[in-house]
């Protein structure tokens, strides 16, 4: 069965970060990793994006301005479950753990979360570095967004198959890509790009997809013309727990 992915986005006060990370890595995340139904957990330190397009000449992305959508982005925790019941089943261990540590978790600012199922998984050249199901990748980019209209969803589905999936399959440094659909959360759509590394000056996986162009020549609109991202999405970062060896 495919993995069910929960994503948690949150910020921290700068003067609390070191102490919170220490507790998170030594206490909470090991317990979460051991919870019934959890396959793996990864904590990522997200890179702040500059205020410019990912690629020169591309449209500027649009983010939701809905004040009810929390804006956290500095930290992302990915939790892979064996089924939706891992996160939504009555009396599940994930909820029980969160309730037991509610006071400490309240330090997470602008917290948002969502749960996704996999629409499609695309293997990439470095899949041997982290076979499917073996744990969180060393680097990743997580996008979550909606289309402007329901009709735009048809073009989005075709664009992924005509342009993005073929490039993901040959992109340098890529382990795999996952196109996601949400069970719960603000966004309907998500993508998880998994990589072996993220260079020091990188803030996006987009340049590696541009470099993997094989003359796909997509005839439709640019995807950024009709999607609306969650605040600060997409989020690219490096894994800080478990520590990358």
Question: Is there a contact between 178 and 191 (Cβ–Cβ < 8 Å)?
Answer: yes
Q: Which residue has the higher pLDDT, 22 or 199?
A: 22
Q: Which residue has the higher pLDDT, 54 or 210?
A: 210
Mean pLDDT check: name the lowest of 75-79, 86-90, 115-119, 210-214: 210-214
- Residue 16's pLDDT is what? 96
> pLDDT band at 239, cuts 50/70/90?
very high
Q: How far, in Å, are 9, 64, 74, 228 from residue 231 at the CA level?
A: 10, 6, 11, 9
What would the pLDDT profile of 148-194 be if each residue is shown by its tens digit?
Answer: 999 999 999 999 999 999 999 999 999 999 999 999 999 999 999 99
Q: How far, in Å, are 25, 78, 140, 229 from residue 198 at the CA level?
A: 21, 17, 8, 22
Total number of domains in the chain = 1
46-64 per-residue burial string, b: 16 or more CB within 10 A, e: under 16: bbebeeeebeeeeeebeeb
- Residue 31's pLDDT is what? 98
Whether pTM exceeds 0.85: yes
Report whether the peptide linkage leading into residue 234 is cis, meaning its omega lies within 30 degrees of zero: yes
Q: How far, in Å, are 6, 26, 61, 218 from residue 230 at the CA level?
A: 15, 30, 10, 25
Q: How many angstroms separate the CA atoms of 162 and 176, rounded?
A: 17
Averaged over 221-230, what is the pLDDT?
Answer: 96
Kindly give the pairing relationship between strand 75-81 and strand 189-195. Answer: unpaired
200-230 per-residue burial string, b: 16 or more CB within 10 A, e: under 16: eebbbbbebbeebeeeeeeeeeebbebbbbb
Residue whose pair of structure tokens reads 């997470």 in the numeric block: 108
Neighbouring-strand partners of residue 118: 180
Q: How many angstroms separate the CA atoms of 146 and 159, rounded?
A: 15
Q: Find the domain containing 117 and state its range.
A: 4-241
What would the pLDDT profile of 14-72 be if each residue is shown by its tens digit?
Answer: 999 999 999 999 999 999 999 999 999 999 999 998 877 777 777 889 999 999 999 99
What CATH number did the domain enclosing 106 receive? 3.30.70.100
Phi, psi of 222 (to 5 degrees): -70, 135
What would the pLDDT profile of 68-79 be if each residue is shown by its tens digit?
Answer: 999 999 999 999
DSSP 164: I
- Residue 1's pLDDT is what? 59
């Amino acid at each position: 069965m495919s993995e069910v992915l929960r994503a948690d986005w949150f910020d921290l006060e700068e003067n609390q970060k070191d102490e919170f990370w220490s507790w998170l890595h030594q206490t909470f995340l090991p317990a979460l990793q051991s919870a019934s139904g959890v396959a793996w957990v990864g904590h990522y330190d997200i890179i702040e994006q500059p205020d410019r397009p990912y690629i020169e000449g591309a449209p500027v992305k649009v983010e939701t301005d809905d004040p009810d959508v929390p804006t956290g982005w500095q930290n992302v925790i990915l939790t892979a479950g064996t089924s939706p019941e891992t996160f939504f089943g009555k009396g599940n261990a994930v909820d029980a753990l969160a309730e037991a540590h509610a006071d400490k978790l309240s330090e997470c600012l602008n917290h948002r979360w969502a749960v996704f199922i996999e629409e499609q998984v695309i293997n990439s050249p470095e899949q041997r570095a982290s076979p499917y199901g073996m744990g969180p990748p060393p680097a990743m980019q997580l996008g979550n967004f909606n289309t402007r209209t329901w009709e735009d969803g048809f073009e989005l589905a075709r664009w992924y198959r005509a342009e993005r999936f073929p490039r993901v399959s040959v992109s340098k440094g890529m382990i795999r890509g996952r196109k996601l659909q949400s069970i719960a959360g603000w966004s309907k759509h998500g993508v998880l790009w998994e990589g072996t590394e993220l260079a020091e000056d990188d803030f996006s996986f987009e340049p590696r997809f541009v470099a993997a162009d094989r003359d796909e020549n997509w005839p439709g609109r640019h995807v950024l013309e009709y999607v609306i991202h969650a605040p600060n999405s997409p989020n690219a970062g490096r894994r800080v727990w478990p520590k990358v060896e």
